[in-house]
Structures are given as C-alpha cells and as structure tokens.
Amino acid sequence: MAKALVFRHGSADLSFNLDKVDRKKLYGQVDTEVVDEKGRPCQLAILGGDGKTLVGRGGSALCMLDPDGGYCERAALTPVGLDGAPLAKAPSSFAAPVPLTHRASIDEYLSHNVKAVYALQAPMGADELLRELRGGAIYTFPFSYRGGLDPDAGFLLANPEGAPFLAVGKKTRLQFVALPELVDPDAEADPDEEAEDDDSMDFGMM
Amino acid sequence: MGSINLSNSKNRDAVVYTRSVSTSLRVRWLDAKGRPAGNVRVVRATLDRDLDALLAARGGDLAAVGEALVQGDPEVDCERVGGYLRDTSRVYVSPDQKIVHAVAEWDLVKNPDGSLKDRRPHKPAQPNVAGETPLRWSGKLMKKSEVWNKFVFAAKLQIVHINGLTYDFLYEIARELELKESLLLVGAGPKSSLPLVFHRGGTPYRGFLEGRTQGESYCLILHLSNLELRAPAAAEKA
C-alpha cells in the first residue's frame, strides 16, 4: 500500500489510501516467452557497438558528462528550460495536504492524457467530498508523486459506481484547426498586369 | 504525422492525418560553469560476469562466489565496465550466453491472480487504422457526460484535414458529435468491434471520437483507452 495522500477539503484534512489500478490487476496480463531452437528460455540483452560486449538487464546506466567528458553529479547540475530560464523543483504531493480549490470541467479533464490511475480508500468524514464527486465534480491540482521538475495534473473524481479515484495526466496540445485564410486575389494582383491581361485570350501563343 | 481511414455517418470515407498531441517538458542541465551537460549510457556490468556466469564457473557454489567477491572483483571486466554503450543492438541470448538468431515467441496469458490461463504462439497485432478498408461509422454514441468517467483515456490523437474536401468532411463529423454531446465508439472490422492498432505489434486501444467546433474551426479528437475506470476486485471486496 502506498503512502496516504491528504486532501484539504474546506477545513478538513482527509487522508486517502492509494491503490494503483492497471490492466494486470483488472484483466490479467500477457507475457512473452522467447525460446531458442532447443526450447531453452532466452533473455534480452544489449549488444555493444564493438559486436562483443553483451549487457543484460540492469547492466547499463545513464551518466551526465560535461563538455570535457568529465562526470557530473546530477545534484550539482542546474535544470533550465530551452529558453535558459531556471526550472524550480515541485515538492512531492505527499509532503503536505493538497488543497481542493479548483474544479475542472469534463472537457478540461478530457484534454489530458491519463498516465496513471489510483483507486482511493476514503477515510471517515469524507462523506461531503464523496457526495460532490458522485455528483460529477472533478477537482484538479498539480500532482507529483516523488517531486520533480514537471508536475502532472491530478484529478480527483468518482466513477459511475461512485468509487473515488485519482487520475494523473498530462495536458495535451489540442488545437482548433481551420482552412488557411484565402488570399484576396484583388489585393495580390498587379494593376498594370491586370490592364494588359484584360479578358482577352491570346490564341496566338498556342 | 500518421494517417487514418475514417467514415462519416453517411458512409463516406476519407484518408486523413492524425497528429500527436502529447507534451513533455524539455530540460537542459548546466554545470557550475553554465556549460550544458549531456547524457551517455555506460556499461555497469557485462553478461559474462553476472551472477549466473560466476555461479557456473564455480559449479553452482554460491559460497565460492561470495568468497571470490571478497578476495577480488570477478564481477568487473576492467576493459569494458565504464565504457560508452553506443550503436547498440537488441539481441536474444541463450542460457549459455550465446546470441540466438532463430527464436520462437510464445504468449503466456495470465489471470489477474497470476495463474497461467493459456500458452499460444505470439502473433504481433497488425495495424488496422490506415488500410484500404475504412473504419466504419459504428453509430454507437455515448453521452460525454456519462462516458468521461467510465474509461481511462490514456492517449489521444487529433485528426486533421489534408485538403479542402477533407476539411468539410471532418468539420461535419466534429459538428455532428458536438451537437449530440456524444463520443462515438470507433473500432475496426465490419462491426467496429475490434480494437484499433496503429502500428505492428502496437497496443490495441478502443477509440472514442469527440468533436468540438469554434466558428469555422474544429477539433476532432480520437481518445484511446485500454482500461475501464474501476477498482480491482480485491480492493472492492476490502
């Protein structure tokens, strides 16, 4: 069981237990078994560029290097955006109560890709909040499980059976699209050229 | 940008584009001198020095492996550990650490409790959204107000026109769905009952088409889901 997540609803702090929901728990899963010609199980490995080095699961690591090729501790590095502005680290949502102050519309919720869902076990005293959720309310807030540079959007909602869930997602860049503006032919045409063209058809050119 | 072959409610079909709408924060890391730092993948351990290999070399005696670790560094290949991993390939390796070129793949179908339900030859899912047969208009409309919390919409694609004709085609679909305040179930096959697969071996999804309009512009969204919003049975019992 994961650590409890505390929501601040009005003046009440409500501590919910989380249980991650995934396909494996709901429907089971399909694993792939790979065997050689003798029926022996095979494992996936990485073959290095030298054609000899074989590295198994967990046998490689990512390192940060400076322009001189020197190793850098991640903690000694400063994260910045593409524009060079420093990025601030958001705290974990488990570090302090999450205030429920903003509601989202269905369209707003549907504009996110949901990457994780947690079933919530409501504590005593959450009846009013549950009543709101079962009435269709969606609360939204920044959410970060461990803390990080790019917090997700959290949504507190209830399914049709009234069970509360936490959905964690990322906003998508949906855009309304239209036909490009048509160019006004009068504005583009050269008046002298137009005078010469007239409506005549030059059969001599053929 | 991908493609999709889509039908409207009048059974007219057209091939149009799909556009990814995912976002992610782009981060650069600077060192103390303000210079950008880069990522490299390095070797931590090689397969010929892992626990299985060390055990095999000592007749399966775990105590002997422990003793060897105390006495030296048999798990470290000094020539390779710490080296960069570049231009790599993914390969299958047999129990005797040889690269295998001819493998057979099997699917192990397991129940939610982990028990084995079936073992069958693996058949990668084939793409079915942009072929010659269009995705039919299923007619299965679900009110947005009723369906938004029934499924987990893990991904979405925006469907966009490729020319003036397909602009009209897609705008009409978006407007029709918006007026009905509904999402259309989109599936493959003659009865629209098969899941959508976008590339070979890709994740199968159920599709839900949503339309929004603003004046002369439209937003046609294909929501993708492979999960219902419900708690696992064990949690419900608790």
Kindly report, residue by residue over A74-111, the tens digit of the pLDDT. Answer: 889 999 998 889 999 899 999 999 999 999 999 999 99
From chain A, the residues in CB contact with B79 under 8 A are none
pLDDT at B191 over 90: no
B189 Cα to chain A: minimum distance (Å): 23
B44 contacts A26? CB cut-off 8 A: no
Q: Quick one: pLDDT at residue A188?
A: 46
pLDDT tens digits, A124-157: 989 999 999 999 999 999 999 999 999 999 999 9
- Which of A170-184, B31-45, B103-117, B172-186 tops mean pLDDT? B172-186
B31 contacts A87? CB cut-off 8 A: no
**Is A160 a domain residue?**
yes
**Nearest partner of B153 among B24, B22, B25, B26, judged by Cα:** B22
Choose the weakest-confidence range: B47-61, B126-140, B210-224. Answer: B47-61
pLDDT at A183 over 80: no
- What are the CA-CA distances from residue B116 to residues A22, B107, B108, B110, B188 (Å)? 18, 10, 7, 4, 29
B117 contacts A72? CB cut-off 8 A: no
The residue in chain A having the minimum alpha-carbon distance to the alpha carbon of residue B214 is A176
Domains of chain B listed by start with CATH number? 2-21+126-237 (2.40.290), 47-77 (no CATH)
**Nearest partner of A3 among A89, A70, A94, A85, judged by Cα:** A94
**Is A185 a domain residue?**
no
**Is A103 a domain residue?**
yes
Choose the weakest-confidence range: A13-17, B50-54, B167-171, B194-198. Answer: B50-54
A25 contacts B221? CB cut-off 8 A: no
- Which residue's structure tokens are 């039919």? B136
Cα–Cα distance between B121 and B105 in angstroms, integer? Answer: 6
Q: Quick one: pLDDT at residue A203?
A: 67
**Is A97 a domain residue?**
yes
B93 contacts A43? CB cut-off 8 A: yes
Cα–Cα distance between A89 and A17 in angstroms, integer? Answer: 25
**Is A81 a domain residue?**
no
Q: What is the mean pLDDT of residues B10-37?
A: 92
Which residues are within 8 A (CB) of A90 and not within 5 positions of it... i.e. 6 or more apart? A142, A144, A147, A148, A149, A150, A151
What percent of chain A lies above the pLDDT cut of 70?
Answer: 86
Beta bridge partners of B40: A63
Q: Quick one: pLDDT at residue A185?
A: 47
Selecting from A46, A64, A171 the residue whose C-beta is nearest the C-beta of B88 gives: A46
B157 in Cβ contact with B202 (< 8 Å)? no
**Is A83 a domain residue?**
no
- What are the CA-CA distances from residue B86 to residues A34, A47, A74, A101, B46 (Å)? 25, 9, 21, 49, 15
A179 contacts B23? CB cut-off 8 A: no
From chain B, the residues in CB contact with A74 under 8 A are 29
Q: Is B45 an interface residue toward A (CB < 8 Å)?
A: yes
Tokens of B87: 């231009």
* Mean pLDDT estimate for chain B: 92
Which residues are within 8 A (CB) of A66 and not within 5 positions of it... i.e. 6 or more apart? A72, B31, B35, B37
**Is A102 a domain residue?**
yes
Q: What is the mean pLDDT of residues B210-222?
A: 96
pLDDT tens digits, B49-71: 988 888 888 988 999 999 999 99
- What are the CA-CA distances from residue B209 to residues A89, B138, B189, B223 (Å)? 36, 11, 17, 6
pLDDT at A195 over 50: no
Q: Quick one: pLDDT at residue B52?
A: 83
Q: Is B168 an interface residue toward A (CB < 8 Å)?
A: no
Q: Quick one: pLDDT at residue A90?
A: 92
B47 contacts A59? CB cut-off 8 A: yes
pLDDT tens digits, B142-162: 999 999 999 999 999 999 999
Q: Is B205 an interface residue toward A (CB < 8 Å)?
A: no
The length of chain B is: 238
Q: Quick one: pLDDT at residue A61?
A: 93
pLDDT at A62 over 80: yes
DSSP chain B: -EEEEEE-TTS-EEEEEEEE-------EEE-TTSPEEEEEEEES--GGGSHHHHHHHTTT-HHHHHHHHHHS-TT--TTTTT-B--S-EEEEE-TTS-EESS-EEEEEEE-TTS-EEEEEE--PPPP-SSSSSPBP----EEEHHHHTTTEEEEEEEEEE-SSHHHHHHHHHHHHHHHHTTEEEEE-BTTTT-BPB--STTPPPBEEEEEEEEETTEEEEEEEEEEEES---HHHHH-
A19, A21, A118: which to substitute to probe chain B, counting the most B Cβ within 10 Å? A21
Selecting from A31, A72, A171 the residue whose C-beta is nearest the C-beta of B110 gives: A31
Q: Quick one: pLDDT at residue B134?
A: 93
* Mean pLDDT estimate for chain A: 88
What percent of chain A lies above the pLDDT cut of 90?
Answer: 75
Cα–Cα distance between B185 and B209 in angstroms, integer? Answer: 7
B147 Cα to chain A: minimum distance (Å): 9
B174 in Cβ contact with B220 (< 8 Å)? yes
User: How many domains are there within chain A?
Assistant: 1
Cα–Cα distance between B174 and B161 in angstroms, integer? Answer: 12
Distance linking the first and last C-alpha atoms of chain B:
45
The residue in chain B having the minimum alpha-carbon distance to the alpha carbon of residue A173 is B21
The residue in chain B having the minimum alpha-carbon distance to the alpha carbon of residue A64 is B39
Exposure of B93 in the CB half-sphere (CA atoms within 13 A): 21
pTM of the shown model = 0.86
Calculate the CA dihedral of residues A158, A164, A165, A166 and round it to 10 degrees: 100
pLDDT tens digits, B85-131: 999 999 999 988 899 999 999 999 999 888 999 999 999 999 999 98
Selecting from B22, B85, B145 the residue whose C-beta is nearest the C-beta of A170 gives: B22
Tokens of A118: 């947690």
Selecting from A29, A82, A172 the residue whose C-beta is nearest the C-beta of B22 gives: A172
**Is A129 a domain residue?**
yes
Selecting from B45, B213, B215 the residue whose C-beta is nearest the C-beta of A59 gives: B45
Instruction: List the domain range (segments joined by +) for residue A150.
Output: 5-21+92-171
